[in-house]
Amino acid sequence: MSVRPNKTPRLPPRWFVRLAWAVHRAIYRLTGGRRGLWRPKVDKWGTMRLKTIGRRTGRERIAILGYYEDGPNLVTLAMNGWADGEPAWWLNLQAHPIASVDLADGSRAVRARAAEGNERARLWAGWRAVGDDVDAYATLRSSETAVVILEPLPEGQ
């Protein structure tokens, strides 16, 4: 019996990835938020709309991201479509860690931070359970993909 080696996944062209992101945001906007966000399930990630403050402009920036829940926290990956370089939303959160998220069932204020050490390993394993082959996709990047934790802020902050 032969064992198939893990194949490096193929990504669509960058223009296609960017177009898919734009279409997803447009669907959300055109439906008044009724479509485009969904809650995670046991074996599938959900989507959220993240609002950050631009690190250079100071203006609100919006991205729609995949996530899963870890207790009260939301966990996402700073993967930039698995391309090299950090996504702008993650650079914005590093400069201004307070943000807000829109979920399928409401909005909340959050504080962002990167997971490290054993916590990162545990949360990465969580992505293995709900996502595609994150280990194979991560090999497409020249640097480690940050696991980002969005912790809820107490009301009024």
User: What's 141's domain CATH number?
Assistant: 2.30.110.10
pTM above 0.75, yes or no: yes
Evaluate whether residue 107 is within a structural domain.
Answer: yes
Show the low-confidence residues of the chain (pLDDT under 50): 1-5
Tally the domains of the chain.
1
24 membership: H or E segment, kind and range? helix 14-30
In a domain? residue 31: no
Going 130 to 105 to 58 to 70, the CA torsion angle's sign is negative
Establish if 108 belongs to a structural domain. Answer: yes
- 64 found inside a domain: yes
What pLDDT shows up at residue 2?
37
Q: 61 is written with which tokens? A: 């920036």
Q: Is residue 133 part of a domain?
A: yes
Domain assignment present for 157: no
- Residue 156: the pLDDT is 62
Range of the domain at 46: 37-152
Q: How far apart are CA 58 and CA 56, in angstroms?
A: 6
pLDDT recorded at residue 4: 42
Retrieve residue 85's tokens: 């370089």
